[in-house]
Structure 1
């Protein structure tokens, strides 16, 4: 299967699965720091896909895409991209239901099994280079 076909399939799958659920990230040792919306539109101010907002901007301290920040560094205990993170972001829906942790840490219990979380973990370095392009691939 070609990469284009895989992304088309994943896009349809993600779109259908999460169309009614708005998923959010909360980080910090108590998961009390809001880190944005996982599946909101790229123009939504809270979206991790909005490179002009607090949560999608490569330079924002609240962004998982900021490679130098607490929530985006590959070395931070609060980052999903750290293989040793003790406190990676939690994924919750608008009703507070828990969908696991967004993390590369293979030893973290309750790692999210959501397809979207797995894609983010697998491709996070590539996504950082083209956030809006990846939004289009995944959700349109």
Structure 2
């Protein structure tokens, strides 16, 4: 199956599964730092897909896409992109239901099994280079 077909299937799956749920990220050692909305559209000020907002901008200290920040560095214990992170961001819905941790750390207890989390972990380097383009691939 080629890459285009895979993205089309993933997009349909992700949109259908998470259309009714708004998923948020919380980071830090106590998961008390808000890191944005994981499945809000690119125009939402809290979206991790809004490259002009606090949570989607690659230069923001609150962004998982900031390669030099606490929440986006591959060396930070608070980042989803550190394979050994102790405190990766938690995924919760608007009602506070926990959906696991967004992390590359395959040994982390309660690592999220959500399809969206798995796609983000697999393609995070590519996503950082084209956040808006990937939003289109995943959610449209």
Can you list the C-alpha shifts for 1:7-55, whole angstroms capped at 9, x where unaligned? 0010000000000000000000000000000000011000000000000
CA distance in 2, matches of 1:106, 1:131: 24
Shift of 1:116: 0.1
Shift of 1:107: 1.2
CA distance in 1, matches of 2:134, 2:70: 23
Give me the CA root mean square deviation: 0.3
Shift of 1:2: 1.0
Can you list the C-alpha shifts for 1:75-115, whole angstroms capped at 9, x where unaligned? 00000000110000000000000000000011110000000
CA distance in 1, matches of 2:107, 2:19: 30
CA distance in 2, matches of 1:107, 1:18: 25
CA distance in 1, matches of 2:92, 2:3: 29
Alignment of 1:22-101 (within 5 A): 22-101=22-101
CA distance in 2, matches of 1:138, 1:105: 23
Aligned to 2:14: 14
Give me the TM-score of the superposition, normalised by structure 1. Answer: 0.99
Structure 1 unaligned spans of 5+: none
After TM superposition, what 4+ stretches of structure 1 lie above 4 angstroms from structure 2?
none
SS of match in other structure, 1:134: helix
SS of match in other structure, 1:7: helix
Structure 2 unaligned spans of 5+: none
CA distance in 2, matches of 1:4, 1:103: 25
